[in-house]
Amino acid sequence: MVPAKKPFYPGYMENGTIYTLIPLADFKAVLGIDDREDALSRYCLITATFTIEQYCHRRLLVQSVTEYPDYTGDGLVLLGEYPVRELEYVHYSRERRFCPESLLPPERYGLIPEGEGLEDRPYHLDLKADPRLLAGERCVKVKYRAGYGPEEVPPDLASACLELAAWNMTRYRGRRIGITGNVRGNGKDGEHLETSMPENVRQLLEPYRRRVI
């Protein structure tokens, strides 16, 4: 009997924990939040994490990724997510017929950078070990795992998530979503729309932001 697939819930990871750069318990402890606001805390953490990933133009928490990149024939294929934890498999087929026969053995490819460390910079699939592979559009299928585990999130990323989630919680508690409060201009008091992210959070995220041309 084939085991039933686990249902997917937006905002949750494969192991059932919430999709957040910092643990829920840590967030509640720092802010002094009790269980009565557990649902709001979860929502603010998940929202903050997705907002951070959108701002950084990349996924940050560990996940399985399947890509079908072009191959230019120079021996290197840029992978879309990083840091890469492991390559699960690589297929090559100029006809884009990916099957058991198109699976490459591990000795015919590698990973740059190498090693067990999680370097926060783009990774490449290295196909230089097999000069027989010719260029082609979407002729490579690669599955790999990339991102940080909950216990590996860098301190500044965790701090950015904490500050953004706390900022969101303050807005939701005050029922003033979308405005910063009273401001004075042209001799009148009024309200204005707030930015989507505090400046101090942006500064923490700058080293992790993917440069988009």
Q: How would you class 22 by CB atoms within 10 Å of its CB: exposed for 0-12, middle for 13-18, buried for 19 or more?
A: buried
Residue 117: pLDDT band (50, 70, 90) is: confident
Q: For residue 185, is pLDDT > 50?
A: no
Residue 16: pLDDT band (50, 70, 90) is: low
Position 150 scores a pLDDT of: 85
The C-alpha atoms of residue 15 and residue 4 are separated, in whole angstroms, by 15
Q: For residue 102, is pLDDT > 90?
A: yes
Q: How would you class 106 by CB atoms within 10 Å of its CB: exposed for 0-12, middle for 13-18, buried for 19 or more?
A: exposed
Per the omega criterion (within 30 degrees of 0), is the bond before 23 cis? no
pTM of the model: 0.81
Q: For residue 186, is pLDDT > 90?
A: no
Per-residue b/e over 129-158, b at no fewer than 16 CB within 10 Å? eeeebeebeebbbbebebbbebeebbeebb
The C-alpha atoms of residue 22 and residue 194 are separated, in whole angstroms, by 25
Position 174 scores a pLDDT of: 67
Q: CA–CA distance from 54 to each of 33, 81, 157, 166, 197 (Å)?
A: 27, 13, 14, 18, 12
